[in-house]
Every structure is written in structure tokens, then in C-alpha cells.
Amino acid sequence: MADILVVENLTKTFDSSNKSLTVLDDVSFSVAEGSGISIVGPSGSGKTTLLGLCAGLDVATSGVVSLAGIKLNALDEDDRAYVRNQHIGFIFQNFQLLPTLTALENVTVPLELRGSKDYKDKAKDLLDRVGLADRMDHYPSQLSGGEQQRVAMARAFITSPRVLFADEPTGNLDEETANKVTELLFDLNKQEGTTLILVTHNMELAAYTNRILRLKGGKVISDNPTNGAV
């Protein structure tokens, strides 16, 4: 299968007053369409930074990210936002729901941005699939962490993205809720044929994807297949 994501010699440096910090150092890997990869590594090793660059939320200092054949570093912020809306779903480490919108409204935003019509039915269906049929009109502050994460998951899937980026999607959840959310993530992924790029500290979860990429100090120190598959 063709590669949906190609990362070549990616470097990210943050400059502060008198020193520069290299957070990603010459990172290269590619991901076949429809497969799943886990990115693991110690806190501060650059996982969230790498995910952000791959998803076009930020730009690299040097190197190339090609997503669905589009070179992200050549694009300005508006064009990257367009590519994200067309191809990407993102589940953030800390949910990032919009506090002034209800669960249903949060889920419909990406489709409204696309100018779609009938987005409400699709959003209701997804919220039903994540077990929140009776909480659609609640605001994020009225929902538990696990419920907010499930809203975030429904929002990430509403555009049927070709690539789903998930940053520690179960990191803030208790074990039972984490298991439910994980099952949902892999189920939705399988049903929709999405490519999954998952950041996790949980090696059990990582074993469900096809490959594990290990980062340390901003460098790739291993990239190995697993026995599992999404």
C-alpha cells in the first residue's frame, strides 16, 4: 500500500533568549495507508511535537512532511488548515473541546467548516456510537474526562479522516474508561479504514498497532513491527 505519511530528516528547534533547544533531530519514517503506528518514548522526547508537525499544526525547522502526497512545509497556515480539515482527525492529550459549544456542536464544527449540510445526523450517529446519545446537549464542563474524550473522538471521526492522530487518548482516564475508549478507537478505525498514528505510554495499547517507533531525546532509536494489527 502507498505511504500516506512520509517524514524525511525532520528537525525542530525552539529558540529562546540565548540558547536553542533541538527537540526533534533528523527524524525519518513513513506510514503505509490504512496501517497503525505507535510513537512511544519518555516524557519530553518530542512525541507531541512530532505529531503536531505531521498533522500540520506547526512547521519544522528543516526536513519534509508529506501527507497524502502534499508537502506541508511549502504551505501557509490557511492552506495547512485546509489540508487538516480535508484529511486529518486529531485527538489531543487534553481533549481541547470548545467550552462554549455543546457536545453535539463540538462534533459538528469540522463538517460545518467544510460547508457540508446534513452534518447533524452524522454527528448524532457518532455520539450515539461513543455512548453519549443522552449527553449531546451538555457542555464540556458538564461532562467527565472520559465523556469529553469520547466527544473528542466523535469530532475526530466526523470527517471520515484518512489519517487519525491521537496523542495519549487514554492518558487521563481510569482503566475501565480507558479500555472502553481504546476499543472504540480501534473499532472506528477499522470500520472507517483510517490510518492511525498514536502516541502512548501504554505498551499494551501500542501492541495493537502494526509498528512501534521509539523516540529518545528527539531521535528515533528504534522502529519495529509488532505482532498485533489495528
For ligand ATP, the binding residues (CB under 6 A) are 14, 21, 23, 41, 43-49
14 binds, among Mg ion, ligand ATP, none (CB under 5 to 8 A by kind): ligand ATP
Task: Write down the least CB distance from residue 227 to ligand ATP, Å.
Answer: 25
207 binds, among ligand ATP, Mg ion, none (CB under 5 to 8 A by kind): none
What strand order describes the sheet that includes 70-71? 20-32, 3-15, 62-67, 70-71
- Indicate the residue among 106 and 200 with the shorter CB distance to ligand ATP: 200
Given a contact cutoff of 8 angstroms between Cβ atoms, the answer to whether 174 and 207 are in contact is no
193 binds, among ligand ATP, Mg ion, none (CB under 5 to 8 A by kind): none
- Indicate the residue among 180 and 201 with the shorter CB distance to ligand ATP: 201
| Site residues for Mg ion per CB under 5 A | 47-48
Q: Compute the distance between CA of residue 168 and CA of residue 102 in angstroms, rounded to an integer.
A: 23
Task: Write down the least CB distance from residue 49 to ligand ATP, Å.
Answer: 3
Task: Write down the least CB distance from residue 12 to ligand ATP, Å.
Answer: 8
C-alpha radius of gyration, the chain, whole number: 17
- Indicate the residue among 25 and 33 with the shorter CB distance to Mg ion: 25
Residue with cell 519534509: 64
Strand segments, DSSP code E, in the chain are: 3-15, 20-32, 36-40, 62-67, 70-71, 88-91, 163-167, 195-199, 211-216, 219-225
| The pairing of beta strand 88-91 with beta strand 70-71 | unpaired
Task: Write down the least CB distance from residue 114 to Mg ion, Å.
Answer: 28
Of the candidates 107, 110, 109, the one whose C-alpha atom is nearest the C-alpha of residue 130 is 107
Task: Write down the least CB distance from residue 11 to ligand ATP, Å.
Answer: 13
- Indicate the residue among 48 and 149 with the shorter CB distance to Mg ion: 48
**DSSP labels, 19-51:** -EEEEEEEEEEEEETT-EEEEE-STTSSHHHHH
- Indicate the residue among 44 and 193 with the shorter CB distance to Mg ion: 44
Residue type, 172: N
21 binds, among ligand ATP, Mg ion, none (CB under 5 to 8 A by kind): ligand ATP
